[in-house]
Amino acid sequence: MTKNAPHLQAHENDLPKGIHRARALPDPALGALWDSIIMDERVKSQLLSQAVLNFTMRSKVDRTVIPLHGVILLTGEPGTGKTSLARGLAHRTAQAFSGGRFRLLEVEPHTLTSSAMGKTQKAVSDLFSQAIAEAAMTGPTIVLLDEVETLAVDRSRLSLDANPIDIHRATDAVLVQLDALADRFPNLLFLATSNFPEAVDSAFTSRCDLVVRVPLPGKEACEQILRDCLAGVGRTYPSVARLVSSPLFARCAAECVGLDGRAIRKMVANALAATTEVAMDPNKVTGEHLLAAAQLAKVSRGEGAKRK
């Protein structure tokens, strides 16, 4: 928790509908999230550079020359760290402007949907044209749109007979508001995430300045995530940190290929719950426990993929 967090937390109940959290940036706690996402550093650098460019160039170059909308979209399977990456990116972007006071707004899209005709469209319009616009008037603002497919659903895949026309109108409202905000506020950046990019309307995707797929970690990344997790737990239980020297560590890391970062870290917790004795004293965990947990996680993920 940062120094600013308690102050912001006290006012969260007063936030506009659709925004469930607001915080001042930079925020070191979010920087830790950025560091915890282990992926190709070139991709991280590209994301940060694109975000920084949003605040340096958009106010100086006409949109008829480069039609930037101030939108970055992160796609990928659940558990790959898209939301954490977006929050960390917000921190790093603000940090790049020394002395700059940024603000992060996190949108909860599910609170905007309604079965009543016209309610979703109005809620979306109000969120963008009022709440987000007012925030942008006060200074540089970054908005996290998690699960953006909820707000910008692919209209070509929907049947007007099976789905309320309000869903179509809500997507229209998002697109109209993105265009309007892009014209008015060059100091505004949207960071959107989606587990199902095929469900996102193509008109929304076309407005994105950068689309990045966050992949499942490869072999080296799996090993690094596993090392990082064991080292973190090892600060409390020293024997856990020593598992990186186990002859079975390489096999454990290899078994993790195909798992997302969240699943790898949860797998370590499963190893620490291998038996009641180990759960009572995690220092008693062994390489065999870790390998068994990794193999079970791999099998469980495979069964889940088959069900899909």
Q: Using the Cα atoms of residue 154, residue 21, residue 72 and residue 32 in order, give the sign of their dihedral.
A: negative
Q: What is the pLDDT of residue 133?
A: 96
Q: Give CA–CA dist 106/100, Å, rounded.
A: 19
Contacts of 260 (CB under 8 A, 6+ apart): 77, 78, 79, 80, 81, 216, 217
DSSP state string for 127-193? IIIIIIHHHHHHS-EEEEETTGGGTSB-GGG--TTTS-HHHHHHHHHHHHHHHHHHHH-TTEEEEEE
The predicted model gives 207-230 an average pLDDT of: 96
pTM given for the model = 0.86
Task: Choose the weakest-confidence range: 84-88, 110-114, 117-121, 262-266.
Answer: 117-121
Rounded CA-CA distance 93/132 in Å is 18
- The pLDDT mean for the chain works out to 89
Strand 71-75 and strand 210-213: pairing?
Answer: parallel
Question: What does 218-233 look like in DSSP terms, one character per residue?
Answer: -HHHHHHHHHHHHHHH
Average pLDDT for 233-251: 97
pLDDT score recorded for residue 306: 52
DSSP 81-131: -HHHHHHHHHHHHHHHSTT--EEEEEE-GGGT--SSTTHHHHHHHHIIIII
Question: What does each C-alpha distance from 220 to 28, 38, 43, 254 come to in angstroms?
Answer: 27, 10, 16, 9
Whether 282 and 240 have beta carbons less than 8 Å apart is answered as yes
Give the pLDDT confidence score for residue 18 in this predicted structure.
86
Residue 122 has pLDDT above 70, yes or no: yes
pLDDT digits (tens, 9 = 90+) for 6-32: 334 435 557 888 898 999 999 999 999
Report whether pLDDT(41) > 80.
Answer: yes
Cα 166 from chain centroid (whole Å) = 27
CA distances 185 to 26, 38, 60, 90, 174, Å, are 20, 32, 12, 17, 16
Q: How far apart are CA 13 and CA 251, in angstroms?
A: 48
Rounded to whole angstroms, the Cα distance separating 251 from 66 reads 49
* Distance between CA atoms of residues 209 and 229, nearest Å: 34
Predicted pLDDT of residue 5 = 37
Q: What residues does 103 pair with on adjacent strands?
A: 24, 141
**Residues spanned by CATH 3.40.50.300 within the chain?**
5-213
Instruction: Encode pLDDT of 164-184 as tens digits.
Output: 566 788 899 999 999 999 999
pLDDT the model gives residue 112: 78
In percent, the amount of the chain with pLDDT more than 90 equals: 76
At residue 1 the predicted structure's pLDDT band, cuts being 50, 70 and 90, is very low
CA dihedral of 192, 307, 263, 193, whole degrees rounded to 10: 0
How far, in whole angstroms, is CA 273 from its chain's centroid?
A: 28
Closest of 224, 88, 213 to residue 144, by C-alpha: 88
What does DSSP assign to residue 65?
Answer: T
Q: What is the mean pLDDT of residues 99-119?
A: 78
pLDDT at 94 over 50: yes
For tokens 């020593």, the residue is 242
| pLDDT of res. 10 | 36
What share of the chain in percent tops pLDDT 70?
88
Contact 137, 52 (CB under 8 A): no
- According to the model, what pLDDT value does residue 59 have? 93
Architecture of domain 5-213: 3-Layer(aba) Sandwich (3.40)
The confidence score (pLDDT) of residue 197 equals: 94
pLDDT at 109: 83
**What is the structure's pLDDT at 302?**
66
Task: Using the structure block, give the residue that is written with the tokens 């940060």.
Answer: 48
